[in-house]
A and B are shown apart, each in its own frame.
Chain A
Amino acid sequence: MAQIFKPSANTIAQVSLLGGAIVPLSVGLGIAALSRSPANTKVGVPLNQPVPFSHEHHVGQLGIDCRYCHTSVEKSAFAGFPPTETCMSCHSQIWTNSPLLEPVRKSYETGTPIRWTKVNKVPEFVFFNHSIHVNRGINCNTCHGAVNDMNITWKGNSFQMAWCLQCHRAPERYLHENEADTAAGLTPRQQVFNLYWKFQQDGVKHLDAHEQDLISGEDPVSFDKDEIAKGRKLVNKYGVKTQQLADCWICHR
């Protein structure tokens, strides 16, 4: 009787053994990579908006304060979206005929709000609060990236839970104060917005290292021992309860 298997069966057996180990591993790693890639997180991907609003122009070049439009960021959970009236406070005077602003004018006339595409969002089971973060001196750019450089706005960070927990598990690595500002009597909250004024006035060179990171959109984390020691002092000063900061209920109530 003829042989059941050809000699090639040996190779097939060996390859399938190896494949049995490699394929599941690669699939797993592939899924892991995809879930962390901009294809899923949309980090760095500008989203289409009804009006091509440029943060780069309004914030970076003109120096309009964040709070001019996002009015409730210091006081409430939600930072706030500007009503059309906010846009029209300037654009009833300048660029009044620009075709790009047609949707804004139309919205103003009809009283229908502009449907902006939301760039930064957390799931509904996450209770995120802007005010607590701003009041502890967490800068806008820490989470939102270099908004001052964004022509069409994109997401600066993944907003995945692991990303949140980097700070929630070790806030001393992120808390920072500019000593000169503190000496001048600025609160942590005031320092958040003062950064942009300093940047407007003196440019990036006169900022300290942490602030330069923020303005350029780098992750402002410090692993330096002294910096962490300073951060820990701030943790105590601001009364940040680190022992409960990574508890489930802090964000999921």
Chain B
Amino acid sequence: MADKRPLNDVMITGEQNYRSIDDAIGSLVIDPKRHKYPWYVMATLGFLGANVLAATVTWLVYQGIGIWGNNWPTMWSFDIVNFVWWIGIGHAGTLISAILLLMRQPWRNSINRFAEAMTIFAVMCAGMYPLLHTGRPWVAAYWLLPLPNIMGVWPQFRSPLMWDVFAVSTYFTISLLFWFMGLIPDFATIRDKSTGRVRKVVYGMLAMGWRGSNRHWHRYEQAYLLLAGLSTPLVLSVHSIVSFDFAAGIVAGWNITVYPPYFVAGAVFAGFAMVILFAIPLRRWYGLSDLITLRHLDWMAKITLATGLIVGYGYMCEAFYAWYSANPFDYHMSVYRRYTGGYAWAYWSLILCNVVIPQLFWIPKARRTESTLLIVAVVVNIGMWLERFVIIPMALLDSYVPSASQPYYPTFWDFAMFAGTVGFFTMMMFLFIRFLPVINIFEVKDLLYKILGGKAPPLPAEIPAGAGE
């Protein structure tokens, strides 16, 4: 090709035109042959995990939450740990889709779709935990939501737990709408490209009559921007409110003002790690490395590094508060539960995972090597899980009444449910790859157009010049 330089821009590599982009992404939906054995392996594993989840939840509902290790004084444990962890995983999707859109960062275009899907599935996983934590999910509606009822009882509006319900449900609704809105033009592309009748009808319905007229695009852009504006504060507010669940409490070690920013940074940290974790197999297994380039991975690694440093600052603050507040309970909790004592291994592994190992990302080569990226991403996700574990049961089991302090042991079902949600998440992600366009087709085309300096890319060779497309 004559015009090689702009095509080799880091955000889209290779010789691309509109059709090649349609084919690279759309055919994942249309052509089952694009899915090789990794898809089957992952989807099966995910399906098995989802079954573990179903079995666990059935047993839980039948038997009650006594099957978990939660016991006084550690009333919040794996259920809340996993809730916070999953909510955090979702944050990268919203950050990528909303904040990066408003900041006009074009590199978001090829990762926003699956990051948003991750948000939605992660919030689904997260939502299960508090619901099942209530023990009776079938009556949780009026415990969680202010529904007028014949008992005349209302949730406690002064409690952050109540705000949490609003925060998470708003977050889920906006994320879902945002995701669906962005999918509409791509649904239309798939509708037009597919040949089978069923696909045409299903994607036709999902496309909601999209014809790509000027008016459609105008309204689409307006609505999309509006939703971006709505979800931008959510990136910060949701996890801030989740952190209030702890920060507004009187438990030693929770009552710290650094919690909201510390939680938000932690969420973005874990979320980007998860996006990296998913992006690498995706580009590898589906030959999408021209669209998800090393440049993308590099930038994501930088954000992970930056948020990781903020999280590290949070750990320093915790230690500082424990000393500076002169609160003997805080001090005791920090020193004898976190830094020394039976669970110190959890704290020090979290420091290793979240603070020490991500420093690898200072090295440019590490940010651009898939294997290091994968390892660090896994490590960060483990680290962020440990962080919540250290924050929640560790602080609770150190009660104000010394005789009440008891060790906490998770049970088999605690682990089973966590593994189950991981399986459910995996299954949903791989179903998503199979049935929905995993990268935003039209935004990548738009990006290509912009990269080419406002010129349409050359037509594919098999179409004679002048035929137009």
Contact = CB atoms under 8 A, between A and B. Distances in A.
Contacts of B152: 160-166
B150 A162 contact: yes
B339 to A, nearest CB: 40
Interface string B176-212: 0000000000000001000001001100100011000
A161 B153 contact: yes
B403 interface: no
Interface residues of A, number: 16
A163 B151 CA distance: 8
Given A10-B209, A13-B209, A35 B204 contact: no
B150 A160 contact: yes
Nearest to B153: A161
Contacts of A10: 209
A4 interface: yes
Nearest to A28: B147
Given A10-B209, A13-B208, A13-B209, A160 B201 contact: no
A36 B152 CA distance: 12
A162 B151 contact: yes
A8 B197 CA distance: 18
A95 interface: no
Contact of B201 (A4, A36, A164): A4
Contacts of B200: 4
B208 A35 contact: no
Contacts, number: 32
Which residue, A4, A10, A32, A164, has most C-beta atoms of chain B within 10 A? A4
Interface string B149-162: 11111000000000
Contacts of B149: 162
- Please report whether the interface of chain A is mostly helix, strand, loop or mixed according to DSSP: helix
B10 to A, nearest CB: 40
A160 B151 contact: yes
B342 interface: no
A139 interface: no
A4 B204 contact: yes
A13 B152 CA distance: 38
- Please report whether the interface of chain B is mostly helix, strand, loop or mixed according to DSSP: loop
A5 interface: yes
B148 interface: yes
Nearest to B152: A162
A166 B151 CA distance: 11
A211 B209 CA distance: 67
Contacts of A165: 151-152
Nearest to A17: B208
A221 B240 CA distance: 44
Contacts of A158: 150
Contact of A5 (B148, B153, B204): B204
Interface in B129-158: 148-153
Contacts of B148: 32
Interface in B200-248: 200-201, 204, 208-209
Contact of A36 (B150, B153, B191, B209): B150
Nearest 10 CB-CB pairings of A with B: A162-B152, A161-B151, A160-B150, A165-B152, A4-B204, A4-B200, A162-B150, A161-B152, A35-B150, A4-B201
Interface of A: 4-5, 9-10, 13, 32, 35-36, 158, 160-166
Given A160-B150, A162-B150, 17 more contacts: A4-B191, A4-B200, A5-B204, A5-B209, A9-B209, A13-B208, A13-B209, A32-B148, A36-B150, A158-B150, A160-B151, A160-B152, A161-B151, A161-B153, A162-B152, A163-B152, A165-B151
9 contacts: A4-B201, A5-B209, A35-B150, A161-B151, A162-B149, A162-B150, A162-B151, A165-B151, A166-B152
